[in-house]
Structure 1
Amino acid sequence: MRKILVVGAGQSGLQLALGLQSHGYEVTLMSNRTADEIRSGRVMSTQCMFHTALQHERDLQLNFWESQAPKIEGLGVSVAAPGSHDPGPTQRAIDWVGRLDGYAQSVDQRVKMAGWMETFAQRGGQLVIHGAAVGDLDYFSRTYDLVLVAAGKGELVSMFTRDPERSPYSEPQRALAVAYVHGLGPRPEHPEFDAVRCNVVPGVGELFVMPTLTTSGRADILFWEGIPGGPLDAFKGVKDPAEHLSLTLELMERFTPWEYARATKAELTDAGATLAGRYAPTVRNPVGRLPGGGLVLGVADVVVANDPITGQGSNSASKCAAAYLASILERGDEPFDEEWMRQTFDRYWATAQHVTKWTNAMLAPPPEHVLNLLGAAGQLPPVANRFANAFDDPSDFEDFFYDPEKTGAYLASVAGA
């Protein structure tokens, strides 16, 4: 029986640990917090998982909250009319909702990670509550067949060097501010099904609104992505959750009044319902070398950290765990050497590269052909639906998004159909 250590108990680390456990591997999972501490702590993320990522959870029978979480059947895009937010009422230049082929879902990671961690322990996995340092891994690399690092923050990430060719940004491109709320009103358009809303305020940032399941039941996430130094970059030093919410709503009233109209009765779901921060999107070398010569393999956002503007973090984590699980199972009794580690990462990068390319493109001001595409989606439902479904499979953007000629040809084909 091969012994594997997974450091980090997020979407990818837990999914991978539970998957390996179900195949008879002897798995140790290290987390810096207990399940109870996670459940009663602060929110850790926004997350909206699309069909492919949800299917990876179903394949491992880990979809414990599927019947409780809202079924997100659409994805809507609004673009504020230029200059309209200063002063006077904001109008929307673009506004539409595309339908998803398979529904998406959002489960608060406090709920999911705590539940999965308890399941891992109940199934006989060894759970170690300890914030691992590089020195710990030096020791463990000699006692385990494979060490996987899935803790995307802290000292361990420094073992994995930045890949400059795949990392065009060296600074954070957005200031992030999250609030989980109860009491949001229904969307005025298509209230009969749940949808994620992406509101673009050109030159200022984006507001995402998504239905979720949290520790206290059904809720919604209000998520601002502000261009650094701009009017949305206002949450630094805001420690009080109530102040965080009132600032969130104030900015909604100013920049997205159509969303603010639904939020006048919004209240935080709990004392830990807010989060703010920023990080530079970075792709790293997947193999970490320990002082004693041992090797460790980076997982998910340890090695590919994208800005959350495209909602891909938990999806990528799930896809990474699935790719790594398949590689480990195929390896049998062969050693997990450096060449295998690099091939394993390359297998994940085959899908992750499309996420990184698209996310980095969305962080830049949209070129004219992309604005034309978003505008056309309001008149042509097949365009809206294709854009929405590309969140599940971002490789599809290659065929209609980046290149003005391909975009034009695609729009002409739909308009003429």
Structure 2
Amino acid sequence: MRKILVVGAGQSGLQLALGLQSHGYEVTLMSNRTADEIRSGRVMSTQCMFHTALQHERDLQLNFWESQAPRIEGLGVSVAAPGSFDPGPSQRAIDWVGKLDGYAQSVDQRVKMAGWMDAFAQRGGQLVVHGAAVGDLDYFSRAYDLVLVSAGKGELVQMFARDPERSPYGEPQRALAVAYVHGLGPRPEHPEFDAVRCNLVPGVGELFVMPTFTTSGRADILFWEGVPGGPLDVFNGVKDPAEHLSLTLDLMEKFLPWEYARATGVELTDAGGTLAGRYAPTVRKPVGRLPGGGLVLGVADVVVANDPITGQGSNSAAKCAAAYLAAILEHGDKPFDEAWMQQTFDRYWATAQHVTKWTNAMLAPPPEHVLNLIGAAGQLQPVADRFANGFDDPSDFENFFYEPEKTGAYLASVA
């Protein structure tokens, strides 16, 4: 039986650990927190998982909350009209919603990671609650056939060298601020179905509103992405959750009054329902070297960390875990050497590269043909639907998004 160590108990680490466990591997999982600590702690992310990523969970029978989480059937885009602060539709230069071919869902990672960790332990997995340092891995690596590092923060990430050719940004491109709330009203124009709402304020930032399932049931996530140094970059150092929510709502009232109109009665889901921070989008080399000569393979966010502006983090983590699981199963009892590690990452990069390209494009001011495309989606439902489904399969953007000629040809074919 092959012995595998997974360091980090997020979406990718747990999905991989549970997947390997189901195929008879002897798996040890290292987490810096217990399931109960995760469950009662602070929110860790925004997450909206689209059909392909959800299917990876279903394939492993890990979709424990599918019947409870809201079914997200659409994805809407609104662009604030310059200098307008009246809540009516006239204040939106663009406003549309695309329908998803397969529904999306969001489950608070506190719920999911704690639940998956409990399942891993109940199924006989070895769970080590310990914040791993490089020295620990040096010691442990000798006892395992493969060490996978999926802890996306801290000292361990430094083992993986930044890939400058794939990392155009050296600094954070957005200041991030998240609040989980109860009491948000529906969008009056589409009360009959749940949708993720992407609200763009040109030159200022974005607000994403997404239905979710949290520790206290159905909720919504209010997620600001502010251009650094701009009017949304005000959450740094705010420790009080009530103050964080108050700031969130004040900014909604000022910049996105149509979203504020349905948020006047909201309250935080719990004292841990806020999060703020920022990080530079970075792609890293996949193989890390330990001081004693051992090799470890980076997973998901450790090797490809994109800004959350395109909502791909948990989707990418699920796709990475699925690609790595398939590569491990196919490899049988051969040694997990450096060449295999690089090939396994390359298999994941085949899909991840499209996410990175699209995300980095969305962080920059949109060129004219992209504005035309987003505008056309308001008049042409097939364009809105195709854009929405790109969140599930970002490789499709190659066909109609990046190059003015392809965008023009596509719009002409639909019109």
Fold similarity call, TM over 0.5? yes
> 2:125 maps to what in 1?
125
Closer, same or farther: CA 86–184 of 1 in aligned 2, 3 Å: closer
Q: Which runs of 4+ in 1 moved over 3 A?
A: 85-90
**Preserved CA contact (<8 Å) 1:177 1:225:** yes
RMSD of aligned C-alpha atoms? 1.3
Closer, same or farther: CA 98–144 of 1 in aligned 2, 3 Å: same
2:181 corresponds to 1:181: yes
Closer, same or farther: CA 218–55 of 1 in aligned 2, 3 Å: same
SS of alignment partner, residue 90 of structure 1: helix
Q: Deviations over 1:35-90 (max 9, x none)?
A: 00000000000000000000000000000000000000000000111233599998
Pairwise CA distance, 1:189 = 1.4
> 2:223 maps to what in 1?
223
2: CA distance, partners of 1:86 / 1:171: 35
> 1:52 maps to what in 2?
52
Closer, same or farther: CA 291–266 of 1 in aligned 2, 3 Å: same
Q: Deviations over 1:175-211 (max 9, x none)?
A: 0000000000011111100000000000000000000
Q: Deviations over 1:103-125 (max 9, x none)?
A: 00000000000000000000000
> 2:384 maps to what in 1?
384
**Preserved CA contact (<8 Å) 2:201 2:255:** yes
> 2:207 maps to what in 1?
207
1: CA distance, partners of 2:396 / 2:370: 15
2: CA distance, partners of 1:85 / 1:221: 23
**Preserved CA contact (<8 Å) 2:76 2:195:** yes
1: CA distance, partners of 2:285 / 2:145: 20
Tell me which moved more, 184-193 or 237-246: 184-193
Tell me which moved more, 102-111 or 182-191: 182-191
> 1:63 maps to what in 2?
63
Pairwise CA distance, 1:17 = 0.1
SS of alignment partner, residue 142 of structure 1: helix
**Preserved CA contact (<8 Å) 1:95 1:378:** yes
SS of alignment partner, residue 210 of structure 2: strand
**Preserved CA contact (<8 Å) 1:90 1:257:** no
Closer, same or farther: CA 196–216 of 1 in aligned 2, 3 Å: same
**Preserved CA contact (<8 Å) 1:108 1:215:** yes
**Preserved CA contact (<8 Å) 1:43 1:109:** yes
1: CA distance, partners of 2:318 / 2:189: 31
Closer, same or farther: CA 383–198 of 1 in aligned 2, 3 Å: same
**Preserved CA contact (<8 Å) 1:17 1:27:** yes
Q: Deviations over 1:340-393 (max 9, x none)?
A: 000000000000000000000000001110010000000000000000000000
Tell me which moved more, 78-87 or 309-318: 78-87
SS of alignment partner, residue 69 of structure 1: coil
**Preserved CA contact (<8 Å) 2:85 2:257:** no
1: CA distance, partners of 2:305 / 2:86: 34
2: CA distance, partners of 1:80 / 1:190: 18
Closer, same or farther: CA 216–329 of 1 in aligned 2, 3 Å: same
1: CA distance, partners of 2:189 / 2:91: 15
**Preserved CA contact (<8 Å) 1:172 1:278:** yes
TM-score (normalizing by structure 2) = 0.99
Closer, same or farther: CA 20–92 of 1 in aligned 2, 3 Å: same
2: CA distance, partners of 1:203 / 1:133: 40
Pairwise CA distance, 1:398 = 0.2
2: CA distance, partners of 1:90 / 1:136: 59
2: CA distance, partners of 1:182 / 1:84: 28
**Preserved CA contact (<8 Å) 1:90 1:255:** no
SS of alignment partner, residue 165 of structure 1: helix
Pairwise CA distance, 1:130 = 0.1
TM-score (normalizing by structure 1) = 0.98
**Preserved CA contact (<8 Å) 2:87 2:257:** no
SS of alignment partner, residue 64 of structure 1: coil
**Preserved CA contact (<8 Å) 2:86 2:257:** no
Q: Deviations over 1:128-177 (max 9, x none)?
A: 00000000000111110000000000100000010000000000000000
Q: Deviations over 1:271-292 (max 9, x none)?
A: 0000000000000000000000
Pairwise CA distance, 1:404 = 0.4
The alignment covers a number of residue pairs equal to 415
2: CA distance, partners of 1:281 / 1:413: 35
**Preserved CA contact (<8 Å) 2:87 2:261:** no
List gaps (5 residues or longer) in structure 1: none
2: CA distance, partners of 1:212 / 1:149: 28
1: CA distance, partners of 2:42 / 2:274: 7
List gaps (5 residues or longer) in structure 2: none
